[in-house]
């Protein structure tokens, strides 16, 4: 029996490799998004902590200068949070873009795998026809030999 050899196998392998690479890139983008979100959460926690410190300091005998410094730091944290939210939004867009690319790579790979499956089906059908013809030939020869 002849073995099936797909003439476009290298393209199928390439498409599979491209899909795997797109998965890795998406995974990296998701990791970057998680890091940005974690950093944002740390900034929020730091802001809450400094707000509590500011409230406690305002209830005790602390100089006005120290309160102003604390308020300036809180304003700085608010600015950092706004910037980080922008970074998170960009990271989310990047994840969605990478997800779209992965979807396209998966579709492309699926098209080539289907083409390979169809080629294999045609090969199998042709092989079955060939085997049937050989069996018919053997039956004919036996019939001819058995009849005097």
By C-alpha distance, which of 38, 37, 12 is closest to 111? Answer: 12
Does residue 111 form part of some domain?
Answer: no
For residue range 28-46, what is the model confidence (pLDDT) as tens digits? 999 999 999 999 999 999 9
**pLDDT exceeds cutoff 70 at 1:** no
Does residue 146 form part of some domain?
Answer: no
Does residue 18 form part of some domain?
Answer: yes
Does residue 126 form part of some domain?
Answer: no
The whole-number average pLDDT for the span 37-61 is: 93
| Amino acid 137: pLDDT | 87
**pLDDT exceeds cutoff 80 at 147:** no
* Domain that includes residue 72, residue range: 9-106
Q: Which two tokens stand for residue 37?
A: 């979100």
Pairwise CA distance, residues 148 & 145, whole Å: 7
Does residue 116 form part of some domain?
Answer: no
Does residue 79 form part of some domain?
Answer: yes
At 148, is the pLDDT very low, low, confident or very high (cuts 50, 70, 90)?
low
Does residue 23 form part of some domain?
Answer: yes
CA 53 to chain CA centroid, Å, is: 43
Domain with residue 61: its CATH number is 1.10.287.1700
Q: What is the pTM of this model?
A: 0.76
Long-range contacts made by residues 111-115, C-beta under 8 angstroms, separation at least 24?
112/8, 112/11, 112/12, 112/15, 113/12, 115/8
| Amino acid 101: pLDDT | 97
By C-alpha distance, which of 32, 124, 141 is closest to 87? Answer: 32
Pairwise CA distance, residues 119 & 45, whole Å: 59
Q: How many domains does the chain have?
A: 1
Does residue 4 form part of some domain?
Answer: no
């Amino acid at each position: 029996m002849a073995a099936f050899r797909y003439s476009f196998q290298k393209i199928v392998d390439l498409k599979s490799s491209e899909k795997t690479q797109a998965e890795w890139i998406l995974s990296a983008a998701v990791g970057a998004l998680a890091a940005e979100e974690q950093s944002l959460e740390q900034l929020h926690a730091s802001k809450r902590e400094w707000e509590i410190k500011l409230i406690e300091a305002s209830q005790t005998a602390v100089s006005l200068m120290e309160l102003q410094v604390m308020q300036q730091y809180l304003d700085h944290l608010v600015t950092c949070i706004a910037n980080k939210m922008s970074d998170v939004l960009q990271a989310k867009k990047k994840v969605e873009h990478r997800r779209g690319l992965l979807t396209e790579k998966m579709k492309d790979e699926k098209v080539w795998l289907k083409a390979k499956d169809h080629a294999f089906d045609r090969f199998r059908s042709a092989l079955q026809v060939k085997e049937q013809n050989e069996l018919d030939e053997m039956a004919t020869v036996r019939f001819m030999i058995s009849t005097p």
